[in-house]
Amino acid sequence: MPIRVQSDLPALEILERENVFVMDETRALHQDIRPLKIILLNLMPLKEDTELQLIRSLSNTPLQVDLSFLTTATHEASHTSASHINKFYERYENIKHNKYDGMIITGAPIELLEFEEVDYWPELTEIFEWTKTHVTSTLFLCWGAQAGLYYFYGIQKVLMDKKLFGIFENRVMNRKTPLVRGYDDVFMAPHSRYTTIRKEDIEADDRLTILAESEEAGVSLVIAEDGKRIFSMGHPEYDRITLDKEYKRDLAKGLDIDMPKNYYPGDDPNNRPVLSWRAHANTLYSNWLNYYVYQVTPYEL
């Protein structure tokens, strides 16, 4: 898929080396195609890493995507330069009158806080409410998924005994649902979180359908209201070394952190991690764009 982004986005150089087709604004203007307008609310601290990961993830369909970035006005990013934020990101106040084909809301490393304790929670709930009328389909990731399930369906997250950290096997449910079309019976997915959602709480709401679950990681993929909202409890966008960076960062801080499961060959952190989830992650994003955005959204937004 040609991804349309600003021509000076730093991630472009890396993506071009990887042979990912990214189209800058100048070339896109010469094509008589209406691209899908996708907006990414990036709540992750390392925003440039997340931009790169998600552009990779969105690059595997023939659909053209016009990708823009959104940040919160009520929380100042401390791990990404202000110049990068100011140049490439919009605030909600400036885009709230727009309509979008799709939206992605990322996770954030704040799951130990109650939702109402998060400094940008009021702004986030305003954005959640706005998606009802201004976005065709929204994809929520990790903490973003837990926050969305809480806001829209009243489902509370639950603190686990220790951090769920690693690559976990998941089994597909409800195979006829287009979101998991093309999946194997079992697939791997990265998780990095301290909280979870109870399966019985999801099953108690007939607006929600579980599409995949894991014996170790619990419910991993949920769809709501014919794809208006999709919740992934893990991080399908993570690249090969994301968990490695997290693990070594926490060790350097002296934190009590277990080695990520099913990640390093021989459980040796000196070994290069095996990339075992990319194909199914690409399928997730491709199916979302095709079945729940492209085939549903009107030509004129």
pLDDT digits (tens, 9 = 90+) for 129-159: 999 999 999 999 999 999 999 999 999 999 9
- pLDDT of the residue at 28: 47
- pLDDT at res. 299: 65
Q: Which residues of the chain register pLDDT less than 70?
A: 1-7, 11-33, 299-301
- Check: CB of residue 89 under 8 Å from CB of residue 60: no
Check residue 56 and give its pLDDT: 87
The gap between the terminal CA atoms of the chain, to the nearest Å, is: 21
Half-sphere exposure of 122 (CA within 13 A, CB side): 3
Q: Out of 51, 111, 213, 237, which one is annotated catalytic?
A: 237
pLDDT at site 6? 67
**Structure confidence at residue 21 (pLDDT):** 55
Burial tier of 268 (Cβ tally within 10 Å: 0-12, 13-18, 19+): exposed
13 is catalytic: no
pLDDT in tens, 70-82: 999 887 777 778 8
Residue 158 has φ and ψ, to the nearest 5°, of: -130, 130
Catalytic residue among 48, 191, 213, 235: 235
Rg (CA), the chain: 18
79 carries an active-site annotation? no
Q: Is 76 a catalytic residue?
A: no
* DSSP reduced 3-state for 24: strand
Of 48, 51, 111, 142, the catalytic one is 142
pTM: 0.89
Please, is 293 exposed, middle or buried when counting C-beta atoms within 10 Å of its C-beta (0-12, 13-18, 19+)? buried
- 90: amino acid identity, one letter: E
